[in-house]
Amino acid sequence: MEEKVLILNFGGQYDQLIARRVRECNVYCEVKDYTVTLDEIKAFNPIGIIFTGGPDSVYAENSYHPAEGIFELGIPILGICYGCQLIAHHLGGSVTAAADNSAREYGKTLTTYDTDCLLFKGLPEKGISWMSHGDYMEKVPKGFKLTAHSDKCPNVAIADKEKKLYGVQFHPEVNHTENGTRMIGNFLYEVCSASGNWTMEGYKRRAIAEIRENVGDGRALLALSGGVDSSVCAALFAEAVGKQLTCVFVDHGLMRKNEGDEVEAAFKKWDINFIRVNAKDRFLSKLAGKTEPEEKRKIIGEEFIRVFEEEGKKIGKTDYLVQGTIYPDVIESGKENAATIKSHHNVGGLPDFVDFKEILEPLRLLFKDEVRALGRELGLAEYLVSRQPFPGPGLAIRIIGEITEEKLDILREADYIFREEISKAGIEHTMNQYFAALTNMRSVGVMGDGRTYDWAIALRSVSTADFMTADFVRIPYDVLETVSRRIVNEVPHVNRVLYDITSKPPATVEFE
């Protein structure tokens, strides 16, 4: 039987991060809103519950609180920050605003732990924790023991070992907290008695069985973009139902070098209906003369749907539409309905002509790194599994200005050289996204003792945890020198290479 941990979100900013840490400990978990009822919690049957942080004060009139009776279920609970204060507030303690700066703590804080407490078992007695609280526990509930303190705050952590209730004022889920994941692991294994049976092999086996049960003898349709999510989704369904799956791969001619062929080759091992629509000329004709970035995006998205619609009509009646929705999408949308379709995902919108019995989203409970792990478990080609984020409009938004076939050829070659040299240098692990872009700037150069007036290529590489903010990567000069030399020498009509050293913000990751 699979063990599950329930994470109740009280509006905290780190709910996904808590879930990631739990799963890193090989324990399955799901994030749900604090409004879940007691009956729903019982039905979920968790081995433990984690309360997230939140922006409110527990004593405020409209603050968030869990279902009444949750503390009588006998299920171990770990409260983090606001969650810790909830435990104190509901069980007879007192939470109040810190007077002046006496107990307020923000940022990295030296903390002393009671290592006799199961939460801190086997850890150093002192370490840095990440604090972010203006309220504090003025009075600890009866039966609870203080298990951590800092210079400013005596009540950093509390524990009732008998009732298996634990609370910490800091955030163990963030990287700034030393040994934070080990603390969460201690809660899971020492308090909840987890066995750690969450694996991708197990998930694959269960997902395949569920797909076969849901689809039966029906037919499924998937719009394959070639991205990680849709590719893993296609591989999973291919493994489960084979010929009952039809994948429509719309090749809009805006992909990187060899990618269309690579996507097609990756699925030859499965006996599925694979339709590759070579629509390059169609897309380029629609984009002719268009220079405004948002207009280009809309044209490509609209045309993608039109092509998908036309192919769908050829296929005929289909029972299920398969979507590559992943867990961050579900959490951020705040919706638990599996049929909720987000317009940005895969096809850019549902074609009106299709009458589906159901929308199937087999990856909707997986994080991105878990999706990649599942892809490897399924034997999907590594070049697809480890593929970097690639925008739906493809190279169209990495070419500044009008899109032409000549510009696409130039950019593909330059981008290929850049990615090849990054791989040769073995530094791809230092960056989350890297690519070349073709600027709309032409400049004077000298090549072969002659004057040139050609295009400038811009290189971009960023490191980021969430793509909300990003920093440019300090690529070694010798690597940049090699890339620049090769691009200028090997790619026609390029005489200058630039490196973008702008972070996000103020820039974005992509150029358009």
Q: Just list the catalytic residues.
A: 81, 171, 173
Percentages of the chain per state (helix, strand, coil), in multiples of 5 = 35, 25, 40
Q: What is the DSSP letter of 342?
A: -
Least Cα distance to 339 among 353, 350, 328 occurs for 350
Question: What type of residue sits at position 284?
Answer: L
Are the CB atoms for 237 and 386 separated by under 8 Å?
no
Could you tell me how far CA 130 lies from the centroid of its own chain? 23
Report how far residue 2's alpha carbon sits from residue 205's, in angstroms, rounded to the nearest whole number: 13
Backbone phi and psi for residue 466, each to the nearest 5 degrees, phi listed first = -140, 0
Q: What is the DSSP letter of 470?
A: B
Are the CB atoms for 256 and 415 separated by under 8 Å?
yes
Q: Residue 48: which H helix or E strand, with range?
A: strand 48-51
CA distances to 285, 322, 445 from 229, in Å: 29, 11, 43
Least Cα distance to 440 among 403, 486, 390 occurs for 403
Backbone phi and psi for residue 195, each to the nearest 5 degrees, phi listed first = -105, -15
Contacts of 274 (CB under 8 A, 6+ apart): 246, 247, 249, 264, 267
Report how far residue 240's alpha carbon sits from residue 509's, in angstroms, rounded to the nearest whole number: 37
Rounded to 5°, the CA angle 312-318-322 comes to 85
Least Cα distance to 266 among 401, 118, 381 occurs for 381
Kindly give the interhelix angle for 477-490 and 405-425, rounded to the nearest 10 degrees: 150
Q: Residue 434: which H helix or E strand, with range?
A: strand 433-447
Any bridge partners for residue 373, and if so which? none
